[in-house]
Amino acid sequence: MTIRAPAVARLFYPDDPQQLHNEVQQLLAENPQQGARPKVLVVPHAGYPYSGPVAARAFNLLRPWAEQIERVVLLGPSHQVALSGLAL
């Protein structure tokens, strides 16, 4: 498996792992959300200062079912490398 190095650390989120962890935990704690079990989430992925609270609310919808989730499929655009088709 190839793990890609973060391309925009320090620009859109902290580059320090502990600081990143703390920021994510704070965003989740400050943005509670409850509702029906979602089948699909469409979540923004801009830098944390821009989309963090909205993304945290979306992911907080999953908390009651976290142990039951078996598969996550992420779809997103390529911002750095031109490609034909879709990267999964």
Model pLDDT for residues 63-82, shown as the tens digit of each residue: 999 999 999 888 877 777 78
DSSP 8-state code for residue 62: T
Whether residue 88 has pLDDT greater than 80: no
Instruction: DSSP for 18-44, please give it.
Output: HHHHHHHHHHHHHS----SPPS-----
What's the confidence (pLDDT) of residue 12? 87
- Report pTM: 0.79
Q: Could you identify the residue written with the tokens 């979602």? A: 38
Domains of the chain, by residue range, sit at 17-68
Query: What digits encode the pLDDT tens for the residues 29-62?
Result: 999 999 999 999 999 888 888 999 999 999 999 9
